[in-house]
Chains A and B, each alone.
Chain A
């Protein structure tokens, strides 16, 4: 009887278990060849608001529990108690992670009403033409499935604002499929791109009233698409021979460390591959003891004529 009570209890506990964030994927190393006559369609939830979150720290999740005595009436009860404890511990862990994220999101409260004016469609529209010009194949927004040729790029961007409100970081999950086989992922990765730091006295003024939030978000979006495509189509794996090292840089006023290999350091932007195979790119001046590369002319990807205005 006790065994059945435990099993029933267990099923209740499992139901409380919180789903984990699903933006963690393994990168794939398969290279893709896109021919000049082909089209790469970018697909996302165009009419949904751009996702913004507060940057959080996994180390803020602190879990300590006391040792547990399990009931030993019978072997069945004993094992049921262990399983119940396991599920409870997992639910507590997931709950703690949600709490950390909720707390981190409080940084966005002053921006909330303005962010509702910014949809994925607007994020992409103001950069699509300039990104398209970089390649000999065509890049367009996905309209509907009218063709079975070409490629589909599924885009899931999430922007994080640092807790000091001075930097934006885009974590962009992307998957590529053949239009003819939209259920098979042929390439995937997460590209993280960080903005330069603003020293403006009022971050709200800088991001909202000067309309930098949509402009910089779109710029980061364009850079991430370019890094992703370059990595996907490039057969040049020369950087894979670079030695592994720990990159030391600042982000949101906090020292950060990331182990990986250097991909490139040009135009004031350092790009590296993490141990997971993800690509990270951040301003080179944020790096500790960096030798800054020479200046180079770099044109913005953002078309100001198309940029949405969130300041009103």
Chain B
């Protein structure tokens, strides 16, 4: 009986796991073909933080956080604003290629969007279609950074590498007629400090790496268009 209950519970839990969205390549010159109007939108930039994957137990995490406390204090002072330039750069770049495009001066709050379900792969899980009529656009290009700052990998209590700058997120283009992704790309940049990193209080090498990671993240998006 216990085995059967366990199997049912396992089946129910498995059903809850949503597989991550796979990358989707954009057709060549897709945006230039037909009469499309694209809106570019950013989500709220996260506050820069220090991420400590691998410090899996509570005590490990506490020890790791103490070990990087100086760095955490510094990272909180870093501005993520340079990444936001990607919006205006994209608009400029697309306009130069003949695409009808606008920057939407509203921060996209994904939590306020209704869910969208589809049995078929390649559809957004949130419903973006409302933006079509709101901004008179046919496609929405979203840039969503969900982690920015530094990352240091741990194996339990021990750091296994030096901290690196991190920019992580996704960028995607949604067809607002049907809520289908026309392009989807994961953005992940890890950038090492050049040489010694542990230089409190200003951590110049890691700060430089942080701004390099921001530039590289922007490049990853811009290079697609």
Contacts of A59 in B (CB 8 A): 190-192
The reply to whether B161 and A93 form a contact with Cβ atoms under 8 Å apart is yes
B-contact bits for A62-74, CB 8 A (1 contact / 0 none):
0111111110000
**B171 part of interface (Cβ distance < 8 Å):** no
A258 close to B208 (CB less than 8 A): yes
Looking at the complex, which one of B190, B205, B215 makes contact with A276 (CB distance below 8 Å)? B205
The one of B153, B162, B208, B219 that contacts A259, using a Cβ cutoff of 8 Å: B208
B184 within 8 Å of A (CB atoms): no
Residues A65 and B160 in contact, CB atoms below 8 Å apart: yes
Asked if residues A89 and B159 are in contact (CB atoms below 8 Å), the reply is: yes
- A23, B207: Cα distance in complex, Å: 19
Q: Which of B3-11, B21-29, B41-49, B193-201 contacts A (4 or more CB under 8 A)?
A: B193-201
- With known contacts A64-B153, A259-B212, A275–B158 Cβ distance under 8 A: no
Q: For window 61-88 of chain A, which residues contact chain B by CB distance below 8 Å?
A: 61, 63-70, 82, 85-86
Minimum CB–CB distance from B207 to chain A (whole Å) comes to 6
Say yes or no for A24: interface residue by CB 8 A criterion.
yes
CB distance from B61 to the nearest CB of A (A): 13
A-B contact count (CB 8 A): 80
Residues in B whose Cβ lies below 8 Å from that of A24: 194-196
- Other-chain contact of A246, B82, B158, B193, B194 (Cβ < 8 Å): B82
Q: Please classify how large the interface on chain B is, using the bins under 10, 10 to 19, 20 to 34, 35 or more.
A: 20 to 34
Binary contact track A82-104/B, C-beta < 8 Å → 1, others 0: 10011001001100000000000
B155 at the interface (CB under 8 A from A): yes
How far is B218's CA from A255's CA once the two chains are assembled, in angstroms? 12
Pairwise interchain contact A67-B155, C-beta atoms closer than 8 A: yes
Q: Is the CB of A274 within 8 A of B192?
A: no
| Contact, CB under 8 Å: B211 / A259 | yes
* Cross-chain contact A58 with B160 (CB below 8 angstroms): no
Report chain A residues within 8 Å CB of B199: 26, 276
B202 within 8 A of partner (CB): yes
Chain A residue with the shortest CB-CB distance to B207? A275
Q: A21: CB under 8 A from chain B?
A: yes
Question: Given the known A-B contacts A61-B192, A86-B158, A259-B207, are A248 and B153 also in contact in the complex, defined by CB atoms under 8 Å?
Answer: no
Residues of B within 8 A of A26 (CB): 199
The verdict on A209 contacting chain B, using a C-beta distance below 8 Å, is no
A85 to B211, CA, bound (A): 32
Within 8 Å CB of A63, what residues of B?
153, 160-161
Cβ-defined contact, A82 with B219, below 8 A:
no
B80 contacts the other chain (CB 8 A) = no
Docked complex Cα distance between A276 and B207 (Å): 10
How far apart are the CA atoms of A61 and B194 in the complex, in Å?
Answer: 12
| Chain B 173-207 per-residue mask, 1 if CB under 8 angstroms from chain A, else 0 | 00000000000000000111111100100101101
7 A-B contact pairs sorted by A residue (CB < 8 Å) = A24-B194, A61-B161, A70-B157, A246-B211, A257-B211, A259-B211, A276-B205
Chain B residues proximal to chain A, CB less than 8 Å: 54, 56, 82, 153, 155-162, 190-196, 199, 202, 204-205, 207-208, 211-212, 214-216, 219
Chain A residues with a Cβ under 8 A of chain B? 20-21, 23-24, 26, 58-59, 61, 63-70, 82, 85-86, 89, 92-93, 246, 248, 255, 257-260, 274-277
Known pairs A58-B192, A65-B160, A67-B156; list 15 more (Cβ under 8 Å): A20-B196, A64-B153, A66-B155, A67-B54, A82-B158, A85-B155, A85-B158, A89-B158, A93-B160, A93-B161, A246-B211, A248-B215, A258-B212, A259-B208, A259-B211
